[in-house]
Amino acid sequence: MRPMPDTGRQAAMLANRVGKTFRVLQPLFERRGVGAYRLYDRDIPEVRAVIDWYEGHLVVAEYERQQTAADPGWLAAMGQAVAGALQVPPERVHLKRRRTRPAQGPRYPRPATNKQSRLIVREGPLRFWVDLDGHLDTGLFADHRETRARLRGEAHGSTFLNLFGYTGSFTCAAGLGGARSTVTVDTSQTYLRWTQHNLELNGLWGPQHELVRADVRDFLQRGARAQRRFDLCVLDPPSFSSREGSPGFDVQRDQRALIEGTLALLKPGGALYFSTNHQRFEPRLDQLRAAELREITAETVPLDYRNRRAHRCFRIVA
Ligand SMILES: C[S@@+](CC[C@H](N)C(=O)[O-])C[C@H]1O[C@@H](n2cnc3c(N)ncnc32)[C@H](O)[C@@H]1O
251, 239 Cβ separation under 8 angstroms: yes
221 phi/psi in degrees, rounded to 5: -65, -45
* pLDDT for the residue numbered 201: 98
Q: How far is the CA of 85 from the centre of ligand 1 (A)?
A: 36
pTM: 0.93
Question: Which residues contact residue 39 at a Cβ distance below 8 angstroms, ignoring those fewer than 6 apart?
Answer: 18, 21, 22, 25, 51, 52, 53, 58, 82, 304
277 alpha carbon – ligand 1 mean position (Å): 12
Residue nearest to atom 10 of ligand 1 (CA): 238
Q: What is the pLDDT of residue 4?
A: 66
Which amino acids bring their CB within 6 angstroms of ligand 1? 141, 144, 164-167, 169, 185-188, 191, 215-216, 236, 238, 241, 249
Q: Ligand 1 centroid to 136 CA: how many Å?
A: 14
In whole angstroms, give the CA distance from residue 158 to residue 226.
Answer: 19
Hey, which of 150, 187, 242 would you mutate to test ligand 1's pocket, going by the most ligand atoms within 8 Å of its Cβ? 187
**Which residue owns the Cα nearest ligand 1 atom 16?**
241
E strand or H helix at 118, and its extent? strand 118-123
| Residues of the chain where predicted confidence (pLDDT) is lower than 50 | 101-113
pLDDT score for 2? 63
- Nearest-CA residue for ligand 1 atom 18 is 215
| Domains of the chain with bracketed CATH | 7-121 (3.30.750.80), 141-317 (3.40.50.150)
Query: For residues 286 and 260, is the Cβ–Cβ distance under 8 A?
Result: no
Residue 99: its pLDDT value, please?
A: 59
**Tens-digit pLDDT profile for residues 287-301:** 999 999 999 999 999
Atom 8, ligand 1: residue with shortest CA distance:
141
CA-proximal residue: ligand 1, atom 12 (nearest): 164
Which residue's alpha carbon is at the smallest distance from atom 7 of ligand 1?
166
Distance 126 CA to ligand 1 centre (A): 21
- What spatial distance separates the first Cα and last Cα of the chain, rounded to whole Å? 61
Q: What is the number of the ligand 1 atom nearest to the C-alpha of 144? A: 8
Cα separation, 240 vs 252, whole angstroms: 9
d(CA 239, ligand 1 centre) in Å: 10
Q: What is the dihedral of CA 42, 46, 51, 57, to 10 degrees?
A: -160
CB of 209 closer than 8 Å to CB of 181: yes
Q: What is the pLDDT of residue 67?
A: 83
Please report the pLDDT score of residue 29 as a whole number.
98
Task: Measure Cα distances from 17 to 14, 27, 168 in Å.
Answer: 5, 17, 33
Q: Angle at Cα 95 formed by Cα 89 and Cα 97, nearest 5°?
A: 170
Please give the distance, rounded to the nearest whole angstrom, from the Cα atom of residue 14 to the centre of ligand 1.
Answer: 33
CA–centroid distance, 238 to ligand 1, in Å, is: 6
Residue 54: other Cβ atoms inside 10 A? 22
Element containing residue 31 per DSSP (H, E): helix 5-31
Residue nearest to atom 13 of ligand 1 (CA): 164
Q: Between the CA of residue 234 and those of 6, 172, 202, 313, what are the distances in Å?
A: 44, 12, 19, 10
> Ligand 1 atom closest to Cα of 216?
20
User: For residue 173, what pLDDT is reported?
Assistant: 99
Residue-wise pLDDT tens digits, 229-270: 999 999 999 999 887 778 888 999 999 999 999 999 999 999
Alpha carbons within 13 angstroms on the beta-carbon side of residue 186 total 25
Best residue among 131, 172, 183, 186 to mutate for probing ligand 1's pocket (most ligand atoms within 8 Å of CB) is 186
Return the pLDDT at 112. 43
Do 233 and 160 contact (CB within 8 A), yes or no? yes
Nearest to 96 by CA among 109, 114, 80: 109
Indicate which atom in ligand 1 lies nearest the CA of residue 241.
16
Q: Give the residue whose CA is nearest to atom 14 of ligand 1.
A: 164
